[in-house]
């Protein structure tokens, strides 16, 4: 089952990858991007330039859509102010068009006590502001399904691939030219990653199965649950530079958090790097079969090549 999809935030990392994936699967794709960003939208899609909080324009773009993908991700320094309004805009567009809303969930919802294995039944117990807002976003989506909307939450770990803005480029390879990799957590702990092109493909497959789903469904996306050693080894093998690894100095991030908003935002989610965890994907596998999964070394190599191309352009 294909159809017409409106991708909100189609110039962003997930939005762009999803627009390409849905297009290649035969969907009609409408890419909503910020004014002046049409050149960053996926080729072969219908581009609409608008601010995502312009409800009238977004609702018009959703006309006749079968699916709306919320891929809007405000900058970290404005996330606390914009996250809920952007979610409301996506809900409004899906409700008024009769479309199914697709939403990328994450692990902020589970707080410092998150268990080693997370599935669709894991209680949400946020311990930070970002987690509380995330829980509210999903509650508002669920409330909309009680009014008649349909929605699917696909929950994933930390993104990498499909451009800049992840822990990979902002922290891990930041000092790669000098031969240093910086890892945010203990090297021996398991951490859940999501390779964005794989997640985009999973969204396509879930959307194609939407007719058989309940009004509100959640699925866990099992990406790459690997230790720091495994992830760093994949990075080391993908670069010609001889590297050494060190740990991120979280004490400095915490010390700066009262004075720098970026440090405060990072400090809030530091617990994700100090608790081993993975996402169980049994429910998703039961729906779509084999979950899209690029081998780690290949995924990291592609991600680094993409980052290098962006840096040159």
| Residue 244 located in a structural domain | no
Q: What is the CATH number of the domain that holds 66?
A: 3.40.50.720
Query: Residue 27: is its pLDDT beyond 80?
Result: yes
Tell me which residue range forms the domain holding 30.
Answer: 4-228+266-312
| Residue 245 located in a structural domain | no
| Average pLDDT for 273-289 | 97
pLDDT, residue 156, reads 98
Side by side, the strands of the sheet bearing 46-49 are 46-49, 28-33, 4-8, 67-70, 100-105, 150-155, 216-220
**Which pTM value belongs to this model?**
0.96
Query: Residue 59: is its pLDDT beyond 90?
Result: yes
H or E stretch covering 247 = strand 244-247
| Residue 144 located in a structural domain | yes
| Residue 241 located in a structural domain | no
| Residue 149 located in a structural domain | yes
| Residue 248 located in a structural domain | no
H or E stretch covering 22 = helix 13-24
| Residue 246 located in a structural domain | no
| Residue 261 located in a structural domain | no
pLDDT, residue 82, reads 94
Cα angle 186-187-193, degrees, rounded to a multiple of 5 = 95
| Average pLDDT for 260-269 | 82
Q: What is the per-residue pLDDT across 163-192, written as a single tens digit (0 to 9) for each? A: 999 999 999 999 999 999 999 999 999 999
The total domain count for the chain is 1
């Amino acid at each position: 089952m294909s159809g017409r999809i409106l991708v909100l935030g189609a110039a962003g990392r997930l939005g762009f990858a999803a627009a390409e994936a849905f297009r290649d699967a035969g969907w009609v794709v409408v890419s909503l991007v910020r004014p002046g960003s049409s050149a960053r939208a996926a080729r072969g899609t219908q581009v609409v330039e608008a601010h995502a909080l312009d409800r009238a324009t977004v609702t018009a773009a959703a006309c006749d859509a079968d699916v709306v993908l919320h891929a809007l991700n405000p900058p970290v320094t404005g996330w606390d102010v914009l996250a809920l309004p952007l979610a409301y805009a996506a809900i409004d567009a899906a409700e008024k068009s009769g479309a199914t809303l697709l939403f990328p969930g994450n692990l902020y919802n589970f707080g410092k006590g998150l268990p080693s294995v997370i599935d669709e039944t894991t209680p949400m117990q946020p311990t930070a502001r970002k987690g509380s807002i995330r829980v509210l976003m999903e509650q508002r989506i669920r409330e909309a399904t009680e009014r008649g909307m349909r929605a699917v939450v696909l929950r994933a770990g930390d993104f990498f691939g499909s451009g800049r803005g992840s822990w990979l480029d902002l922290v891990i390879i930041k000092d790669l030219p000098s031969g240093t990799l910086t890892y945010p957590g203990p090297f021996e702990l398991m951490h859940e990653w999501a390779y964005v092109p794989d997640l985009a493909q999973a969204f396509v497959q879930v959307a194609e199965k939407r007719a058989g789903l309940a009004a509100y469904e959640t699925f866990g996306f099992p990406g790459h649950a690997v230790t720091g050693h495994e992830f760093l080894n994949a990075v080391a093998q993908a670069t010609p530079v001889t590297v050494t690894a060190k740990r991120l100095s979280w004490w400095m991030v915490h010390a700066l958090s009262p004075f720098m908003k970026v440090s405060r935002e990072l400090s809030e989610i530091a617990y994700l790097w100090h608790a081993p965890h993975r996402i169980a994907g049994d429910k998703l596998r039961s729906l779509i079969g084999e979950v899209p999964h690029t081998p780690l070394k290949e995924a990291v190599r592609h991600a680094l090549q993409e980052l290098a191309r962006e840096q040159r352009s």
